[in-house]
Amino acid sequence: MSREVLQGTLDLMVLRTLDVMGPQHGLGLAKRILQVSEGILNLNQGTLYPALLRLGQRRWIMSRWGLSENNRRAKFYELTARGRRQIAVETERWESTVAVMAKFLARPTGGE
C-alpha cells in the first residue's frame, strides 16, 4: 500500500489499536500498526503525530506523560468514551464504503 494512508483510515487504525491494546505511546502505536498490516502498509511513522493531535482535539483520545518500558519519559495516548463511540461510527462508515466498492469491483456473473 502506498505511503499516503487515506485520512480517516489512519484515524480508525489508531483508535482501534488503542481500543485493543490500551494506552500506548507513539512508537508503540506505529509498531503495532505496522505489525498488524504485516508490512503491507509502509507508513511514515512521523505522520502518526499530527493524526494523534487531531484525534486529541476531537476529544477522541487523551494523552498523559508516563515512563516507557526502557524508562524514558513518553507521552501515552488512550481512548476516551467519545473515541470508543467514534470507533463504532467509523467502522460502520468503513464497512459501507467497502460494500459499495465490492459491488463495483465484483466480476459480472452472467445474466443482465
Partner 1 sequence: MWGRFVDLFRRRRLDADLESQLAHHLNALEAEYRARGLAPGDARAAARRDMGGLSQVRDAYRDQHGVPVFETIWRNSRFAVRALRRTPGLTATIVLTLALGIGANSAVFSTIDTVLLRPLSFPDADELVRVIQTQDKLLVGQEQAEALKVEIGSALADVEVPDFADIAGRDLVTGLLRRTSIDATTVRSALERPLAQIVDAVKDLLERTPPELASDVADRGLMLVGGGALLRGLDQRLQRETGLHVTVADDPLTTVARGAGQALEELATLRARADKPDKPRFGH
Residues that bind partner 1 (CB under 8 A): 3, 25-27, 30, 44-47, 49-50, 53-54, 56-59, 68, 70, 72-75
**Cβ neighbours of residue 67 closer than 8 Å, sequence gap 6 or more:** 73, 74
24-25 and 73-79 strand pairing: antiparallel
Nearer to partner 1, 74 or 87 (CB): 74
Nearer to partner 1, 59 or 95 (CB): 59
Shortest distance, CB of residue 108 to partner 1, whole angstroms?
41
